[in-house]
Amino acid sequence: MNVLRHFLYTSRKAQQTDLLLLGTLLARENKELPVLDNISSAEFKVFSQTGDDGIIQYLINKVYVPETTFIEFGVENYVESNTRFLLKYNNWSGLVIDGSKRSIRYIMSDDIYYQHDLKAVQAFITAENINELIASQGMKGEIGLLSVDIDGNDYWVWKAIDVIDPVIVVAEYNSVFGIDRALTVPYKPDFIREQAHYSHLYFGASLKALCVLAEEKGYAFVGSNSIGNNAYFVKKNRLGGLRALSPEEGYVYSRFRESRDKKGNLNYLSGSERYECIKGLPVYNVTTGLEEQL
């Protein structure tokens, strides 16, 4: 290992140690929180994209979760994820799945892979293969947490899953689709967000669609994170003191400005401009069972 690589390696290790120390202090404070009206008040960030680490710590301390196992897909290289803090701080075990061979190689070369009970699988996830991917790793029945974030067929993949029974589900929603209709992109096994529409805004499902599916599967919606991209669901028989919310009560309008122009450059559309950019594209209404237009 040359001097520069050694410096970068030791710097990264030191940074992770500092993050874990900070996360440990925040998690201890979080554990003492009362039942909150808004779960985003529990947020803190260690490895998650924003404050989801804090919400997850809050929920696992308010909900009976005997099986300390998780599954997360759409993790890229797993440096930023919803379950890494569960693995490092709470010593949970789990399975991560991503479509990139490079990302999976990175995860398996990371110290986290031998220091913890983690399995990493490379696969492009579809509604047809998700149960086999999970079962092939020896996971079935009740697990602690499932995190779904694949920027596309999220609704359809969660709907298809029946080999496991998570207590808590974290599912990404597309805030741009609004709160009025229960919509998802029509199912295409090979759906890729950046190919579906140049803007990168056409993907996933509305919060209402995920709430309809959650109800079918026996879950209650308990809230969203503060930036409006992740929704949280808890099995109804494990809610305890947590309050179930309607989609309208828990919806958060995102302010992401990640849209692209036709040349693939960020063009920073905001507010209703984002909806106007994808207006008229086909969507599936999960309540009526009919294809509509945005």
51, 45 Cβ separation under 8 angstroms: yes
Instruction: State how far the Cα of 96 lies from the Cα of 139, in Å rounded to an integer.
Output: 12
pLDDT mean over 262-274 = 97
- Convert the pLDDT of each residue in 212-230 to its tens digit: 999 999 999 999 999 999 9
Q: What tokens does 3 get?
A: 């001097």
pLDDT mean over 270-291 = 97
- In order of their start, the domains of the chain are 3-293 (3.40.50.150)
Instruction: State how far the Cα of 40 lies from the Cα of 225, in Å rounded to an integer.
Output: 5
249, 66 Cβ separation under 8 angstroms: no
- Convert the pLDDT of each residue in 149-182 to its tens digit: 999 999 999 999 999 999 999 999 999 999 999 9
Residue 282 has pLDDT above 90, yes or no: yes
Instruction: State how far the Cα of 221 lies from the Cα of 207, in Å rounded to an integer.
Output: 10
Q: What pTM, to 2 d.p., does this model score?
A: 0.94
Provide the pairing of β-strand 69-73 with 141-148: parallel
pLDDT value for 6: 45
Residue 264 has pLDDT above 80, yes or no: yes
Considering the chain, what is the average pLDDT of its residues?
Answer: 94
